[in-house]
Amino acid sequence: MQETTNILHSIPTDPLTGALSVPIYQTSTFQQEAPGVNKGFDYSRSNNPTRKALEDCIAQLENGIAGFAFASGLAAVDAVIKLCQSGDEILAVDDIYGGTFRSFEKLYKKFGITARYVDTSDLDAVHQAIRRKTKIIWLETPTNPTLKISDIQAIAEIAKVHGCLLVVDNTFASPALQKPLDLGADIVLHSGTKYLAGHSDVIAGLIAVKTQELADEIKFIQNATGSILGPWDSWLTLRGIQTLELRIEKQCRTALEVARHLVSLDAVDQVNYPGLFFHPNHELAGKQQKQYGAVISFSFKEDSKEIAETFVCNTKLFKLAESLGGVKSLCCHPASMTHKGTPAETRQKAGISDSLVRLSIGLEAPEDLINDLDEAIKKIKVEPELVQ
Ligand SMILES: *Cc1c(COP(=O)(O)O)cnc(C)c1O
C-alpha cells in the first residue's frame, strides 16, 4: 500500500460517533463500570484515546509493534536512556543532537550511565569502539547540521553480534524517507516537532519499538515518569502526519534544486546535501533513504561569522529560527545558535565552521527560495566593511 494511503487509514474512525477526525479526549479520568472494569482507559497518564491513535499511527508508520508519544523529542530521548542502568554505556554518533548530548553528559553521567562518541559513518570505528558494557548504539542519520549518513543495516548487524540495542533518532529523515526498524534497529525515535507534525506549531516526541519486551519497558517508563503528550498536541501531531509524505516529497525535490543552485554560487564554499553526487555518503543515502531529505548546510568562501550572520539576517522567505521540518523555510547559523555551547575547536572538528548556515526547506516554490538566497547573498557583497 502507498504510504499516504497507509497513514490515512491507520487512523481510526471514532467508534462511538463515527467522527472521521479522532476526537480530542480532553479528560484526565474515565468512569469505570466496576472497580477495575473499564473500556481500556482508566487514567490519561496511562492511556488516552487521542494519544493512542497517534501512538498506533507511529507504530504503523515505522513498522513497529508499538508506539509511544511524549511531551517532546527530548522526553522520548530520556525514556530511551532510562532503559540503561548504572554501569551501562551508550556509544553515540559523534555529531549527535545537542540536547541528547546534554542529557548524556549533564544528567545521566552522575547516575553512572556514560556515553562515548564515534564517527558512525566509519564502520570499522564502530566495531572498535564497542566495549562489553556498551548497551546501546545511538545513531542519527542524516546528522545535524553536517548531514553525515550512517549505514543502519550494517550497524544493526554489529549491534546484534555484540548484544546491544540499536536506537535510531529518525527526526531528520522521517519515516516517509527511512524506516530504521526494517533495517534492523530495535528502537526508532523522533522529535515529532519537526517533519511529523510539520507545521512549527507543536512540541512532541515519538518512539516506535520492534519487540514486545521493549514495548513493555517503554510503556512502563512512560507511565512511571509521566512525560506524556497531551490530547490536544497528540491531535495536532496526528493532523500533521496525514500530509507527511506529500510535504516531504515536495520539500526534498526543492532541496535538491536549492542545493544545486548553492553549488553554482561564487560566494559559497562547501555545500552539504546527501543528494549531491560529491557528498561522501551519496550512494549510501540513495540506498537507505527514499529521497535525500530537506535540510541543507553550506559555508561561505570567506569563513567568517559576520558573513553568515549578515546572510541569515537578510533572507526574507527563510525565517531565522531554530528547528526544522515545517511548511515555512527556516535558516539558522549553528555556530551562534544551535551549537553556541559547543567549544570552537570541537565545532570546527565536526565540520561546523564559523560561516556554516543551515537551511530547512519548506513548501515555498523553489524559484522563490532561490531568489531569496540570491538577494541575501547580494547584501553580503554590498556591505562596505565586508568588501574591504
Ligand atoms: C529537535 C531534535 C530533538 C529534540 O526534540 P524536541 O522536540 O525539541 O525536544 C532530538 N533529536 C533531533 C535530531 C532533533 O532535531
* CATH number of the CATH domain containing 298: 3.90.1150.10
Domain containing 250: what range?
A: 245-387
pLDDT digit string (tens) for 309-330?
Answer: 999 999 999 999 999 999 999 9
Listed as ranges, residues in the chain with pLDDT below 70 are 381-388
Active site residue 110: no
Look at residues 196, 223, 241 and tell me which one is the last residue of a structural domain. 241
**Cα(336) to centroid(ligand 1), Å:** 18
Q: Are 298 and 378 in a shared domain?
A: yes
Nearest atom in ligand 1 to the alpha carbon of residue 75 is 9
Q: Are 236 and 287 in a shared domain?
A: no
Q: Are 164 and 232 in a shared domain?
A: yes
Q: What is the CATH number of the domain that holds 111?
A: 3.40.640.10
Q: Are 231 and 300 in a shared domain?
A: no
Q: Are 235 and 324 in a shared domain?
A: no
Give me the pLDDT at residue 344, please.
Answer: 84
Look at residues 194, 210, 241 and tell me which one is the last residue of a structural domain. 241
Active site residue 219: no
Active site residue 290: no
Distance in angstroms (rounded) separating the CA atoms of residues 74 and 83: 15
pLDDT digit string (tens) for 34-51?
Answer: 998 999 999 999 999 999
How does DSSP assign 273-306, residue by residue?
-TTSTTSTTHHHHHHH-SS--SEEEEEESS--HH
Q: Are 213 and 121 in a shared domain?
A: yes
Query: Domain count of the chain?
Result: 2
Look at residues 241, 274, 290 and tell me which one is the last residue of a structural domain. 241
Query: C-alpha cell of 353?
Result: 565552521
Strand order in the sheet with 268-272: 268-272, 295-300, 357-360, 330-332, 319-320
**Cα(125) to centroid(ligand 1), Å:** 26
Give me the pLDDT at residue 348, please.
Answer: 86
Give me the pLDDT at residue 16, please.
Answer: 87
Q: Are 229 and 268 in a shared domain?
A: no
Q: Are 280 and 318 in a shared domain?
A: yes
Q: Are 117 and 34 in a shared domain?
A: yes
Q: Are 275 and 155 in a shared domain?
A: no
* Catalytic residue (choose from 194, 239, 290, 347): 194
Q: Are 224 and 287 in a shared domain?
A: no
Q: Are 46 and 146 in a shared domain?
A: yes
Distance in angstroms (rounded) separating the CA atoms of residues 89 and 147: 25
> Considering the entire predicted model, what is its pTM?
0.96
- Check: CB of residue 207 under 8 Å from CB of residue 80: yes
* Residue 270 host element (H or E): strand 268-272
